[in-house]
């Protein structure tokens, strides 16, 4: 998949950004994305019970706006800022999908269809705008707006899909760890070996890694008598959160979002001087 700090010439009235505002789409991106989903599996419900729906929702929206403002106002990808905005967007979108079910009374199947239509409309509009859809290459303000809208919709679709699978009879072990892991691996193989369209591959993998991360957290937390590791919800949430912070810290120190030696499809040598340094 296309990604990285590529340089290119910008045209039109879009705001120029010297480097890609998003990480390279390599192993560390997908691992961090899945772990974020698992780490945030239970704590929103805890805060709802303690402080109430209105207060928690208001704080979540405020934090989301602040995180997005930070992301929009940097000139290149900063690991801490990007993953803060990414993580908060994950939680906000998940709670939006859950709210449609719990508050408005829609079935999760309906919520899946709704967010699928929204995501499709965003991607169609993105393509019609003339900007590249390559999800790892975001250089202009317009691209960044489309990217954020698509990411939020993808998170909501992912969360709804995970709940819908449970409503259809899949346990976390059968549905989210085995079936979803197999589907994710199949998509990765199809992109790597059989030239699956990288944009399609990205969004399929993006949606599937949500239930995958949630299933991993459930498996770790659930009692051994039910087939899990029996670690408990809060120890699992804490461990996964520490893992995410560690990965982001490594990215921030190295200023690269890739494992050593990991492949990158980024097209370099475009003739534009390197302006990635602040």
Cα-based angle 236, 26, 253 (whole degrees, multiple of 5): 75
User: Other CB atoms closer than 10 Å to residue 192's CB: what's the count?
Assistant: 12
What confidence score (pLDDT) does residue 134 get?
81
Q: How far apart are CA 217 and CA 2, in angstroms?
A: 29
Does a structural domain hold residue 5? no
Cα Dmax for the chain: 61
Query: Domain total for the chain?
Result: 1
Q: How far apart are CA 8 and CA 11, in angstroms?
A: 10
Cα separations (Å) of 216 from 34, 137, 160, 197?
Answer: 9, 29, 17, 28
Range of the domain at 111: 27-254
Does a structural domain hold residue 144? yes
Using CB atoms within 10 Å of the CB of residue 260, give its burial: 0 to 12 exposed, 13 to 18 middle, 19+ buried. Answer: exposed
Does a structural domain hold residue 13? no
Model confidence pTM above 0.85: no
Does a structural domain hold residue 182? yes
Q: How far apart are CA 174 and CA 191, in angstroms?
A: 25
- Per-residue pLDDT, averaged over 214-228, amounts to 84
Span 251-274, pLDDT tens digits: 888 765 443 333 333 333 333 334
Does a structural domain hold residue 272? no
Span 107-123, pLDDT tens digits: 999 999 999 999 999 99
Comparing 59 with 137, the larger pLDDT belongs to 59
Does a structural domain hold residue 266? no
Span 14-28, pLDDT tens digits: 333 346 788 888 889
User: Other CB atoms closer than 10 Å to residue 268's CB: what's the count?
Assistant: 10
Would you call 136 helix, strand, or coil by DSSP?
strand
Does a structural domain hold residue 10? no
Cα-based angle 218, 203, 99 (whole degrees, multiple of 5): 55
Q: How far apart are CA 197 and CA 234, in angstroms?
A: 39
Q: How far apart are CA 76 and CA 89, in angstroms?
A: 19
The DSSP code for 255 is: T
Does a structural domain hold residue 3? no
């Amino acid at each position: 998949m296309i990604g990285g700090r590529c340089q290119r010439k910008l045209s039109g009235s879009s705001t120029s950004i010297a480097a890609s505002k998003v990480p390279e789409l390599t192993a560390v991106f997908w691992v961090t994305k899945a772990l974020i989903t698992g780490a945030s599996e239970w704590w929103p419900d805890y805060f709802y019970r303690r402080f109430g729906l209105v207060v928690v929702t208001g704080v979540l929206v405020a934090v989301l706006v602040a995180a997005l403002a930070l992301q929009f106002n940097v000139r290149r990808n900063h690991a801490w800022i990007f993953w803060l905005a990414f993580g908060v967007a994950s939680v906000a979108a998940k709670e939006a999908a859950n709210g449609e079910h719990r508050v408005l009374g829609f079935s999760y199947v309906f919520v899946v269809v709704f967010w699928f239509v929204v995501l499709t409309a965003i991607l169609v509009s993105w393509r019609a705008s003339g900007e590249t859809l390559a999800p790892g290459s975001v250089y202009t303000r317009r691209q960044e707006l489309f990217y954020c809208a698509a990411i939020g919709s993808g998170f909501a679709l992912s969360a709804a899909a995970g709940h819908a699978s449970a409503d259809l009879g899949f346990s976390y072990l059968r549905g989210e760890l085995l079936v979803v892991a197999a589907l994710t691996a199949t998509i990765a193989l199809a992109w790597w070996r059989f030239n699956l369209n990288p944009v399609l591959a990205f969004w399929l993998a993006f949606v599937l890694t949500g239930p995958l991360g949630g299933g991993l957290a459930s498996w770790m937390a659930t009692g051994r008598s039910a087939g899990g590791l029996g670690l408990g919800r809060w120890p699992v949430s804490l461990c996964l959160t520490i893992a995410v912070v560690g990965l982001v810290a490594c990215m921030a120190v190295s200023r690269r979002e890739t494992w050593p030696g990991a492949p990158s499809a980024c097209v370099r040598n475009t003739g534009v001087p390197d302006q990635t340094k602040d």
